[in-house]
């Protein structure tokens, strides 16, 4: 007999009312944070973290998002040494980037130290020791302010932002994108979390245009993350220079084999296929919908 069922209500957007419910087993714990942060256990997704009403990470499907946010850019680039992660306080992307032995340093800029503390304690498998790796430097600050003020240059910048609300909103604005472009080393690449085009087509089209004005050669790729409801998630791949950001399959396969990384979602074939956009997304991305 199930105990009293508690439900967590995630509302993605107000108008279409796309709402998803997660049964919280064993109660819902609110965490002291500058943001609305909660943790609970769900039979399907395992332990889950919700921030300002939106699912951020779940134990069971985090590998999909973290592998695609890290490996597409790193294998596309081919010689990454210095990485900046903006957001990413759960440590999942840092874990995946650190698996590339050639990476010399990662700077992770997270605005809320409570997220790092919570994830180290409650989701240790997600960071899997990343926070103790000497190559990782964690800075608790606003990512936009950090990028605007840094003199450092990065081969890859990964913007693991929440949705464009609250403190995350600034990470979707042109000044931040321009500062990121200036902080990319020659041949550098930036990656964004670009939301769910099906749920927010108008926002996605406007976001795509914002990115294109700063990164003319921007491309999008897709991933399917079960707990990010509403269809495929889009990710921006933004080269500092308008070079082809997506190498041939043979090149990706050679780099993947040399890296010796065992993945559960990313493969060179998935990498290439992820850039094949269905027309309903492609036309939004090019402003021809």
Q: What is the dihedral angle through the alpha carbons of 36, 40, 43, 46, rounded to the nearest 10 degrees?
A: 90
Q: How far apart are CA 135 and CA 160, in angstroms?
A: 19
Tell how far CA 36 is from the center of its chain: 19
Residue 42 within binding range of ligand SAM, rule CB under 6 A: no
Give the residue, chosen from 8, 170, 214, 261, that forms a contact with ligand SAM under the rule CB under 6 A.
170
Residue 160 within binding range of ligand SAM, rule CB under 6 A: yes
In the complex, least distance from residue 166 CB atom to ligand SAM, rounded to whole angstroms: 7
Candidate ranges 110-118, 177-185, 215-223, 260-268; the one touching ligand SAM (CB under 6 A): 110-118
Site for ligand SAM in 113-132 (CB under 6 A): 115
Give the residue, chosen from 109, 157, 234, 281, that forms a contact with ligand SAM under the rule CB under 6 A.
109
Cα distances (Å, whole numbers) of residue 72 to 57, 62, 149: 19, 16, 27
Candidate ranges 77-85, 168-176, 206-214, 270-278; the one touching ligand SAM (CB under 6 A): 168-176
How many residues belong to the site for ligand SAM (CB under 6 A)?
26
In the complex, least distance from residue 79 CB atom to ligand SAM, rounded to whole angstroms: 26
Contact 162, 87 (CB under 8 A): yes
- Output the CA torsion sign for 156, 161, 167, 172: positive
Site for ligand SAM in 43-72 (CB under 6 A): 51, 56-57, 65
Element (H, E) at 17: none
Residues designated catalytic: 160
């Amino acid at each position: 007999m199930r105990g009293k069922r508690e439900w967590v209500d995630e509302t993605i957007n107000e108008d279409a009312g796309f709402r998803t419910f997660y049964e919280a087993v064993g109660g819902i714990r609110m965490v002291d944070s500058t943001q609305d942060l909660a943790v609970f256990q769900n039979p399907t997704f395992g332990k889950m973290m919700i921030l300002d009403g939106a699912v951020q990470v779940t134990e069971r499907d985090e590998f999909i998002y973290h592998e695609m946010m890290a490996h597409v850019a790193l294998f596309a680039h081919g010689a990454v040494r210095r990485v900046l992660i903006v957001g990413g306080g759960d440590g999942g992307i840092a874990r995946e980037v650190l698996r590339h032995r050639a990476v010399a340093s990662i700077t992770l800029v997270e605005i809320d130290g409570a997220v790092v503390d919570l994830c180290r304690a409650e989701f240790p498998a997600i960071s899997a020791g990343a926070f103790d790796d000497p190559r990782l430097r964690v800075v608790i600050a606003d990512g936009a302010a950090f990028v605007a003020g840094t003199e450092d240059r990065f081969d890859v910048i990964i913007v693991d932002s929440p949705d464009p609300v609250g403190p995350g909103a600034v990470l979707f604005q042109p000044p931040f994108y321009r500062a990121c472009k200036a902080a990319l080393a020659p041949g550098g690449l930036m990656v964004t979390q670009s939301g769910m085009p099906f749920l927010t087509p108008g926002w996605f089209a406007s976001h795509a245009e914002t990115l294109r004005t700063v990164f003319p050669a921007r491309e999008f790729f897709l991933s399917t993350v079960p707990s990010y409801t509403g269809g495929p998630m889009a990710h921006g791949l933004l080269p500092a220079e308008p070079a082809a950001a997506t190498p041939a399959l043979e090149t990706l396969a050679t780099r993947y084999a040399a890296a010796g990384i065992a993945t559960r979602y990313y493969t060179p074939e998935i990498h290439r296929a992820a850039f094949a956009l269905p027309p309903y997304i492609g036309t939004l991305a090019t402003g021809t919908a």
